[in-house]
Structure 1
Amino acid sequence: MGWGAGQHGEVADLLWDDVKCFFDPDFMGSLPDVRVPDASAQDWQAVLDLVAEEGWKCQYSEGEAVLPVPRAEVVLSRPADAECPALRVWPTADVLAIFRFHADDEVDFDVDLRELQGQERLDVFCSFLREIGRRLGKPVLMDPEGDSGHPVLGFDVEADRVVLLAEPLAR
């Protein structure tokens, strides 16, 4: 792991001044898509287990109904015309990620960039991506809203940290 590893001495993955253009709601859309491609129902379950283990506050709902968090395969095997369930996860009180169970081959969630302003919130977000990426051993990518397939940043499994995947824009 090297120097400064571990939760407390960790150097920030990304510096706010370097990446703030990617957290500009006017530029990225306020709800960019965060995804783990090439996933499986087991990966979804691993995310649910991680949420429970970390003690992150969460709320599972189908339409208006708030329900206990089911097993991933139960959610993913619902009929095609059923409401798309959502799992809201708060890694901290001020930061919300909303997981949407669209498909078993992609773990997919939204974040609200308006909640991710400044270094402290950025660190929370990076830590959240890192926890998910480490648990799954897979990249976790953030795309601009509605522009899937062009990630701007994400958790890199080899580097074991969140890295920029696009050039920041000078404004």
Structure 2
Amino acid sequence: MADLLWDDVKCFFDPDLMGSLPDVSVPDASGHNWQDVLDLVVETGWKCQYSEGERVLPLPRAEAALSRPADAECPSLRVWLRADVLAIFRFYSDEEIDFDVDLRELQGQERLDVFCGFLREIGRRLGKPVLMRPEGAHGHPVLGFDVEADRVVLLAEPLSFFSVAAPG
């Protein structure tokens, strides 16, 4: 059974409303949590590419990715959930795991199911919520993996969220 139904959440996957790259994160994380994510990527066999600036490098331990000089470029990890669905992790801080997805790649029930499965895998591995917010918004998440429910759930009502969030 699907965590979410496309018809119920498609407004949260509209790039014009949410921005094409919504913010997805695991708050209250640690370097250990980052390592768990890296281990998960390897164990699941998701295709991935780690880079620092333009340099593509072998996937390091999380500690090495997070302990760069202040003036160094932020490392990123591209993870393909499938050939046409990409998540990009950025190692900004050990206190929060941040990544982007492109909503243009997440249209329809099948791709929504792939995305929800990805959030579920990360949330289960870490035992933490995985939250999605509109691009650049630091406010209330619209959906995410709920640890207690063990599934991805809506965290905002579509109509009320957009009537409150819309500029007036």
- Give the letter for the 2:77 counterpart: L
Identity of aligned residues (%): 84
Q: TM-score, normalised by structure 2?
A: 0.94
Look up the match of 1:58. 48
Where do 5+ consecutive residues of structure 2 fail to align? 163-168
How many residue pairs align between the two structures? 161
Cα shift readout 1:88-121 (whole Å, capped 9, x = no counterpart): 0001111100000000000000000000000000
Where do 5+ consecutive residues of structure 1 fail to align? 1-10
Look up the match of 2:165. none
Q: Distance in 1 between matches of 2:44 and 2:64?
A: 22
1:115 to 90, 105, 108: 105
Q: Which runs of 4+ in 1 moved over 3 A?
A: none
1:17 is aligned to 2:15:
no
Q: Distance in 2 between matches of 1:85 and 1:73?
A: 12
Q: Distance in 1 between matches of 2:82 and 2:109?
A: 14
Q: Distance in 2 between matches of 1:36 and 1:109?
A: 9
Cα shift readout 1:115-156 (whole Å, capped 9, x = no counterpart): 000000000000000000000000000010000232000000
| The structure with more helix, counted as a fraction of residues | 2
- Provide the secondary structure at the position in 1 that maps to 2:40: helix
1:84 to 74, 91, 94: 74
CA RMSD, 1 decimal: 1.1
Q: TM-score, normalised by structure 1?
A: 0.92
